[in-house]
Chain A
Amino acid sequence: MTTTARTTGRSRRWPSPIPYLYLLPALAVAGIFVYLPLVQTVVLSFFDWSVVRPERTFVGWDNYRTLVADPRLGDVLGQTVAYIAIALIANTALPIGLALLTLQIGGRAAGLYQTLLFVPAVVATSIGAMLWQWMYSPNAGLVNATLEVFGLPERRWLADTDTALGAVAVMTAWKFVGFNFLIALAGLRAIRVDLIEAARLDGATGWKLLWTVILPLLNPTTVFLIATTILTALPNVFTPIQILTQGGPARGTSNMLYETYEAGFRFFQAGRASTWSVVTMVVFALAAYGYFRIADRRVDHEG
């Protein structure tokens, strides 16, 4: 038996532990700070526990039954979907469109536009929210002042249930559009020029070139943007809600994540908060899984 054969045979029986040892610190950190809290959250969702009290009461599925029976559940889910829908338009479709436009401009002007679009991304969300709070101010705000110029009626943007959610979502979109714009721009620049030229030689121009060549080639970037937008829509809008509306008026700007926060950190209902966490986690995991299943079939990975 040769040395190589002996080594191979031994490695089949006892895989080297070295790679696993290298992974151990990262696994330990992830285990302590991610997976253990996750398991604890699931466990807590079966308890009635106020965080200011030492004792917990096992209540089985009661927290889930209460959540399903909550008359506000439909509103909260609807508002969650609304936030995601607005984010998809504002933080996926819009950045791709803006990236396409700035690429058409070219030269120094393109750089200027790209910089201006990215500026909100470097403004702290809390600062941005306070800026928009002033802009939405019913009397002294820039938004109503602009409407007044055009003879349009003033609105109480953050106090009116018809406009508050949209107002918060627009502020959030403003904050995050710049980062996604950069990703879209990078995606467009990564498309091979020879493919575009070949398409042009074949007679594809204008909208036809865009729909049949550029956007399909941009698909990997689009998939990434859509996935991250869906998964980050609620965390991104949390700070704006907290600063602008605190979930009001009439809970019209709350969503699944904000309900979780309020249950846990305003009402001290750890069991109820954990239930919201678990439901939110499951819904978003299913949404992500479903989306990737669909997207995988459509992505041109050679693009």
Chain B
Amino acid sequence: MRPATTSRRSVIATGAALAATISRPDWSPVSAAQSTPTAPVTIEYWHINTDAYGLVQIRQLIAMFQERHPSITVQERFLPDLYPGVIQNIQLGVAAGNPPDVVQIGNGYVRFTAGNLPFIPITDLAAIAGNTTLLPSLAGNIAAIGQVESIQVGVPYSLSATFTYINADMFQRAGLDLTSPPKTWADWEAAGQAIRGATGKPALLIVEQPGLVFATQTILASNGAGLTMDDGSGNAVSGFTTPAGIAAIQQWATSVENGTVSNVLTGEEAYQLFFDQEVAAITQTNAVWGTLTSQATFPMSASTFPAFTDQPLRLATGGNVLSVFAQDPAKQIASLAFIDFLLSPEALTVWDQGTGYLPPREELTTDPAYLGDTFADPVLAKAAESLKYAGPWQSFPGENGLQCEQLLHDAIEAAINDPGNVQSLLEDVATQIDTLIAGEAYVA
């Protein structure tokens, strides 16, 4: 088991390494005017995008960047196996003394990166490079997606927010007003009654992909609970068995019991039920907008993810952040320049139009010069509106974190089908999870 202080110690060590790097004789602190290296430098950009999804845009963006920064050459490198593959490859690169320069880190791996990998804090890098615009261009809740304990591990880049896709036909048959769709659990209970009465079907299906707790953590966070919490001594323990956590899951289970929410969880089956009009609404991210809207045979509307009355909605946000691992000072500066470009309105327009991600800068979604036309679609507009509620992706700390997610997923699956035993099911799995994360530091 790893020591409790690992995360903080690694972060501190990284900071120290950065300071040492900066103090090297060949390093000269740069001003804003020097934020692009004058000598030729080549950096590697590691990503997960295939020919079918995003690689065309990456190559286009690199060409645009190199035109503006002739001294910097960017070599893109595709990594298989999505974000777990990225983490493995970074580790291999670090072990071989050849770390990458700029990397897409999955939002679910930001905390892992903070505690285990030699990233360069973006805040420090921006200060050294004299870049005063990159981070301030992001809203506070968006910047927080890439932060761990106030350290900017990466710059939020590709975002996907969960919201509710609505079958407008079924809503209208139930006499529901689509200009004011359900937003809270209480609203959904009322809509559920109407939809059951008119169609005999459940109103909502909350998708949770196998082994993940993406929706679960949104539901917990929106009721003031979390996957983990501080045990009082700085260590992490399960946070979902607090009264708020149990109440949140109980709400979900009760809604399943009374027929408002479907007890189906998994994606494939969920989509099929939605397409077959066996359920009136489904929660999913903007990542499947194209699939859902192209295959549905009914008009689509949208709403935000269900919130608890009088509680702010807090969405776990998918996608990735851009982190820097470059060890060479010139490469660090070039990496920051590249990230700065990728976050520019022009580059984000190319990227988000091509991939369907949400931009980390919400204002672009209403600006006709950039993404305004794309997000004029009423369903995508709801996705963009959800950016207001976007927040960090939580994860269980330590090497057993992914196993803990699987355990909690299984417990949630059981709990929503057994509303009378929600508390005991959660407490049982909390005991197992606490054993697996024993001694791990709590990270806020």
Contacts and interface: CB of A to CB of B under 8 A. Distances in A.
Contacts of A262: 406
Given A138-B273, A140-B272, A48 B1 contact: yes
Interface stretch (B23-31, B84-92, B245-253, B296-304): B84-92
B200 to A, nearest CB: 14
A250 B410 contact: yes
A139 B400 contact: no
A267 B210 contact: no
A250 B414 contact: yes
A251 B265 CA distance: 14
Contacts of B400: 267, 269
Contacts of A52: 87-88, 91, 116
Contact of B116 (A53, A246, A251): A53
A44 interface: no
B276 A251 contact: no
29 contacts: A48-B1, A51-B88, A52-B87, A52-B88, A52-B116, A53-B91, A53-B116, A133-B268, A138-B272, A139-B272, A139-B276, A140-B272, A140-B276, A156-B264, A156-B269, A159-B264, A159-B265, A248-B210, A248-B410, A250-B413, A263-B403, A266-B402, A266-B406, A267-B406, A268-B84, A268-B402, A269-B399, A269-B400, A269-B403
B402 A267 contact: yes
B413 A248 contact: yes
B259 to A, nearest CB: 16
Interface centre among B87, B91, B269, B276 (most CB of A within 10 A): B269
B211 A246 contact: yes
Interface in A139-168: 139-140, 156, 158-159
Contacts of B399: 48, 50, 53, 268-269
B72 to A, nearest CB: 29
Interface residues of A, number: 28
Please list the 6 inter-chain residue pairs (A to B) with the smallest Cβ-Cβ separation, ordered nearest first. Answer: A246-B210, A50-B399, A267-B402, A139-B276, A267-B403, A52-B91
| SS of A interface (majority) | loop
B189 interface: no
B211 A71 contact: no
A158 B432 CA distance: 26
Given A52-B116, A250-B413, 20 more contacts: A50-B399, A52-B88, A53-B91, A53-B116, A54-B95, A71-B432, A138-B272, A139-B278, A140-B272, A246-B210, A248-B210, A249-B413, A263-B403, A266-B84, A266-B402, A267-B400, A267-B403, A267-B406, A268-B399, A269-B400
Interface of B: 1, 84, 87-88, 91, 95, 116, 210-211, 264-266, 268-269, 272-273, 276, 278, 399-400, 402-403, 406, 410, 413-414, 432
Interface in A115-139: 133, 137-139
B408 to A, nearest CB: 12
A112 B271 CA distance: 39
Contacts of A248: 210-211, 266, 410, 413
A109 B62 CA distance: 63
Contacts of B272: 137-140
A159 B414 CA distance: 12
Contacts of A249: 265, 413
Contacts of A54: 91, 95
A158 B265 CA distance: 12
Nearest to A134: B272
Contacts of B276: 139-140
A139 B116 contact: no
B403 A159 contact: no
B261 to A, nearest CB: 15
Contacts of B211: 246-248, 266
A65 to B, nearest CB: 12
Nearest to B272: A137
A131 to B, nearest CB: 14
A54 B84 CA distance: 16
B298 to A, nearest CB: 15
Interface in A258-300: 262-263, 266-269
Nearest to A158: B269
Nearest to A244: B268
A138 B269 contact: yes
Contacts of A138: 269, 272-273
B434 to A, nearest CB: 14
Nearest to A49: B399
A47 to B, nearest CB: 12
A16 B255 CA distance: 79
A269 B84 CA distance: 13
Contacts of A159: 264-266, 269
